[in-house]
Amino acid sequence: MTMTVPISRVAPDDEPDVLAPKSFEELGTSPEVTKVLAARGIMEPFAIQRLVIADAIAGRDILAKSRTGSGKTLGFAVPIVELLAAKDLKPRALILVPTRELAVQVKDEFIAIAKAKGLLVMAAYGGVGLKDQAKAASRAHIIVATPGRLEDLADRRMIDLSKISVLVLDEADRMLDMGFLPQVNKIVRRIPGKRQTMFFSATLDGEVGRLAKAFTTDPVMREVESPLQTVDEMEHRFVPTEQADKLDTLVKLLTEESGRTLVFVRTKRGADRLAYKLKGRGVQAVAMHGDMTQGARERSLERFGSGKVTTLVATDVAARGLDVDNITHVVNYDPPEDHKAYVHRVGRTARAGKSGIGITLVSPAERGDVGRVAARLSLDTEFEKEGMKVLPPRMAYASHRGRKSMMGRRPRRRG
Ligand code: ADP
Ligand code: MG
């Protein structure tokens, strides 16, 4: 029997009353940790946290799926802090994340609560010296790392993974998308088989699902319904514009609507170019992409995060997992590759229950593809509001089962 409740679907074997408003303490969080959470304004657990924290503290393996911005980090950080003690052999817990930015963010989120129990946390990622990182890693209870750098440290025997008892794969889908599977496999093989494994992902379909099953033992499955929930909480606009007018259209948007805006472009060069052009037009903008040094990326992020600049121009990879508060607008200057990329991009706003605006600039050549992405997300109405038409699905999409927005309607052709 599968129990379906408005906010989540839970495994049939155990049916916690997920709707009951549970406090962190009721989920097994200690008074010390509850206190530091409260000091940071975190009073009540989010849905995914209500679903995983108690089981994770009990030592169960976890497969968790929920949308970006739903609070997954504390879903694993709180149990790990509860499970570890300062006197434990180090390093004890390993969190793998897809990007450097995310490594830093997850580490920072950990540090705040880890100090309640005297635990040390460090982040390991590429672009900085190996030696210092190895030294810091040997002193830390909790390591947050990108797979590439961790594999490098392990290969050189600069880090000892034999004491790891808790492993987390955060944004597992993204790690696979980014081609980290070989590194992840190698790392997992170096970690004792007798461990607790937690898998956090926006999707558990296909390859990610298989990996999740392979890495976990008798996991509890937890899912907060609708990875597209973000989409419902937001306003979505599709703005038709000639390719040559995109810059003007963007500048107009940025000046008319004040806010903190994340602008997505397709390429690293494109990010630099657009940030430069925006500055020329009087918009305070910085770029962030993978060809910049770690220091330069951190500076961009810091200037944007602190509000010194209002606009961050980023590539998909650079913005993955980014959690900057109060992003009010996400602009797709170049269209997202597919509906998943759209959700990930706009997921940078409307985080933690706040509402936000997603704006996609659509040139005539991009109409077909963007229209299909919109339809896939049931945003056809929004797309067509501006006088554009969603075209019939391509054959590749037409084979998808039960896509109401794609299949349930008669394809509308242009007159
Ligand atoms: P995800 O990993 O699911 O994308 P994050 O863990 O990055 O989401 O959380 C998104 C934001 O929500 C963060 O700024 C985090 O501090 C905040 N947050 C998480 N849990 C809570 C909570 N229980 N109450 C208030 N804010 C929270
Ligand atoms: Mg996350």
How confident is the model over 353-396, as pLDDT tens digits?
567 889 999 999 999 999 998 888 878 888 988 888 877 655 44
- Give the ligand whose atoms come closest to the C-alpha of residue 74: 1
69 plus 210 within the same structural domain: yes
* Helix (H/G/I), strand (E/B), else coil: 169: strand
Residue 183 dihedral angles phi and psi, to the nearest 5°: -65, -45
List residues bridging with 133 in a β-sheet: none
The beta-strand segments (E) located in 225-356 are 235-240, 261-264, 285-288, 311-314, 329-332
Confirm whether 89 is domain-assigned: yes
Instruction: For ligand 1, say whether the CB of 74 is within 6 Å of any of its atoms.
Output: yes
Instruction: For ligand 1, say whether the CB of 71 is within 6 Å of any of its atoms.
Output: yes
Measured by CA distance, the residue closest to atom 25 of ligand 1 is: 42
Pocket probe mutation, ligand 1, options 323, 327, 345, 349, max atoms within 8 Å of Cβ: 323
CATH number at residue 245: 3.40.50.300
The beta-strand segments (E) located in 57-175 are 62-65, 93-96, 121-124, 142-145, 166-169
Please count the structural domains in the chain.
2
Mean pLDDT of 201-213: 86
12 plus 103 within the same structural domain: yes
Q: Calculate what percentage of the chain has a pLDDT beyond 70.
A: 85
Instruction: For ligand 1, say whether the CB of 68 is within 6 Å of any of its atoms.
Output: yes
198 plus 273 within the same structural domain: no
Exposure pattern of 338-377 as b/e (b: 16+ CB <10 Å)?
Answer: ebbbbbbbbbbbbbeeeebbbbbbbbeebbbbbbbbbbbb
280 plus 181 within the same structural domain: no
CA–CA gap between residue 92 and residue 215 (Å, rounded): 18
List residues bridging with 239 in a β-sheet: 361
270 plus 214 within the same structural domain: no
> Which tens digits make up the pLDDT trace of 46-65?
888 999 999 999 999 999 98
Confirm whether 2 is domain-assigned: no
Confirm whether 151 is domain-assigned: yes
275 plus 202 within the same structural domain: no
203 plus 240 within the same structural domain: no
78 plus 193 within the same structural domain: yes
Instruction: For ligand 1, say whether the CB of 229 is within 6 Å of any of its atoms.
Output: no
Taking the centre of ligand 1 as the mean of its atom positions, its distance from the CA of residue 9, in whole angstroms, is: 20
| Residues spanned by the domain of 217 | 7-224
CA–CA gap between residue 348 and residue 320 (Å, rounded): 9
185-194, 201-210, 223-232, 276-285, range with the lowest pLDDT: 223-232
- What lies within 8 Å, CB to CB, of 251 at 6+ separation is 278, 281, 283
Instruction: For ligand 1, say whether the CB of 372 is within 6 Å of any of its atoms.
Output: no
